[in-house]
Each structure stands twice: as structure tokens, then as C-alpha cells.
């Protein structure tokens, strides 16, 4: 699954807490009203399908990538405000991978700029 910046923010939030309720996620991102819940719900379903998160409903259903299709076909409600969103190892790996990519870009640039600055300072002091 290709994550855009907005999708990654949702996954990072769940990753940071390790688990949270759907209600907490909506409060964090300012999602109010039924019409505004469609995007995060679709996003969370794609996270479940990709194996990034699991959902535990108060009625005892554990929803993860292996039983998602079966539950969708049976009409089982996937989420309600009190459903727990739980980060899975694949989701944690994805967040860590994105952090590493960001660091891998900026660290060499910072080192290069610092060495140029030191070189220029050495030239000016001569």
C-alpha cells in the first residue's frame, strides 16, 4: 500500500499510542459528523487489509487482514466509536521505514553542508 502524507499521519498516531479507540482517533484529527467519518473508515479498512492494524470491537470481534473479507461479506459491523485500533508489526515496520527514509535523506545533506561551511570558514581564516 502506498501511503500519502495524510494516511501516514493516521498510522503514525496509532503507532505512537500502540492502541487507541476510533473515537480518540477522530478527536485527534478533528473529525466530527457522520459524513466526515467516511475517509478515515476507508483508510482504516485499507490498513487492516494491508496488515498494518487490527480492530477489536467491544462485542468481541477481532478484525485483521485474514478475516476481513469474511466479515465484510457477513455484514459484521467493522467499527464503532469504542472499537480499539491496534498497531501490528507490519504497521510499525512501515512507520519506522518512513522515518528511516526521512533521516536517510537529511543526514547526508546536513553533513555535506557542514563540511562546506567548515571548508569556507577555513578559507576565510587563511
Cβ pair 9, 28 in contact under 8 A: no
Whether pTM exceeds 0.75: yes
Q: What is the mean pLDDT of residues 29-58?
A: 91
Can you give the residue range of the structural domain that contains 19? 5-125
Exposed / middle / buried, residue 35 (Cβ in 10 Å: 0-12, 13-18, 19+) = exposed
CATH number for the domain including 91? 1.10.10
Kindly state the cell numbers that stand for 113. 553542508
Q: What angle do CA 86, 92, 98 make, to 5 degrees?
A: 135
Q: What angle do CA 82, 87, 35 make, to 5 degrees?
A: 45
Query: What confidence tens digit (pLDDT) does each residue in 48-89 have?
Result: 999 999 999 888 888 888 888 888 888 877 888 899 999 999
Provide the number of structural domains found in the chain: 1
Amino acid at each position: 500500500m502506498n501511503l500519502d502524507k495524510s494516511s501516514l499521519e493516521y498510522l503514525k498516531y496509532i503507532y505512537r499510542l500502540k492502541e487507541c479507540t476510533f473515537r480518540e482517533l477522530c478527536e485527534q484529527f478533528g473529525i466530527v459528523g457522520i459524513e466526515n467519518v467516511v475517509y478515515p473508515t476507508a483508510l482504516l479498512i485499507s490498513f487492516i487489509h494491508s496488515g498494518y492494524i487490527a480492530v477489536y470491537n467491544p462485542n468481541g470481534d477481532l478484525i485483521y487482514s485474514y478475516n476481513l473479507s469474511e466479515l465484510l461479506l457477513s455484514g459484521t459491523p467493522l467499527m464503532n466509536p469504542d472499537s480499539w485500533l491496534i498497531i501490528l508489526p507490519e504497521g510499525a515496520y512501515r512507520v519506522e521505514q518512513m522515518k528511516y527514509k526521512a533521516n536517510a535523506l537529511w543526514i547526508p545533506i546536513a553533513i555535506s553542508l557542514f563540511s562546506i561551511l567548515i571548508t569556507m570558514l577555513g578559507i576565510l581564516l587563511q
